[in-house]
Homo-oligomer: A and B are copies of this chain.
Amino acid sequence: MRQVVRAYLEQAGFRVIAVGDGPSALHAFRRERPDLIVLDLMLPGMDGFEICRTIRRESGVPIIILTARVEEEDRVVGLELGADDYITKPFSPRELVARVRAVLRRAQGEVTAPAVIRIGDLTIDLDRREVRVGDREVHLTPTEFELLATMARHPGRVFTRLQLLERVQGVAYEGYERTIDAHIKNLRQKIEPDPKNPQYVLTVYGVGYKLREAE
């Protein structure tokens, strides 16, 4: 079994260290600091879950549990102990390799999404909540940022004041539509080179506002 897994993973280009019991596994983990661990729960010498727990206490290394235990309970426990994936035997070696790749892909940095929108000189980073004009960072209030971000997710599309209000203060919007105007004004002061002649936040007369599209 161990040899099959090793062979397939090496075939796929990975360097593999294989050991045959729990204590050896812990020891090898501490010595080698692998990029990923495939852990068979049925190792002699130590409860598999216990090994998983111990490793998790010491490190965030990706762990794929491989086992004959098919009980739902075991799967849930394994995943909640911090395993990244849980594969039951019999399994396809090709699938194992694909799962190893998927977990590594995610674990080695492929973080969720850049989430950066660029329009002309304007850069909007949704995760960081940062807005830059050229390379000058501008400070926006929460409402201003939310307004800009809302329009930036659909450049060119027109938003009515009501839509913007809802987005900005939640569905339970109530109150003066014109409040949006005030925020738009402040936003323009901050991001427009010439607030009198907006080139980013455009007015759609009689309807609302929209953000210019990237060219």
Identify which of B107, B115, B129, B141 contacts A106 (C-beta below 8 A).
Answer: B107
Asked whether A142 and B98 contact (CB < 8 A) given A62-B106, A113-B61, A128-B158, the answer is no
**Across-interface contacts of A111 in B (CB, < 8 A):** 60, 107-109, 111, 154
A176 proximal to B (CB < 8 A): no
> A210 within 8 Å of B by Cβ?
yes
Report the interface size for chain A: residues with CB under 8 A from the other chain: 54
Known: A80-B101, A130-B156, A142-B205. 18 other contacts (CB 8 A): A33-B115, A58-B127, A59-B113, A59-B115, A60-B111, A60-B112, A60-B113, A61-B112, A72-B94, A75-B92, A79-B102, A80-B98, A82-B105, A84-B103, A109-B111, A127-B156, A127-B157, A128-B157
Residues on B with C-beta less than 8 A from A127 are: 58-59, 154, 156-158
Of the A-B pairs whose beta carbons lie under 8 Å apart in the complex, a sample of 24, sorted by A's number, is: A33-B115, A59-B127, A60-B110, A60-B113, A61-B112, A61-B113, A62-B106, A72-B95, A75-B95, A75-B98, A76-B98, A79-B99, A106-B106, A108-B111, A108-B112, A127-B154, A127-B156, A127-B158, A128-B158, A129-B158, A129-B207, A141-B206, A142-B206, A142-B207
A107, A113, A126 pick with most chain B CB within 10 angstroms: A113
**Which B residues lie within 8 Å of A105 (CB)?**
82
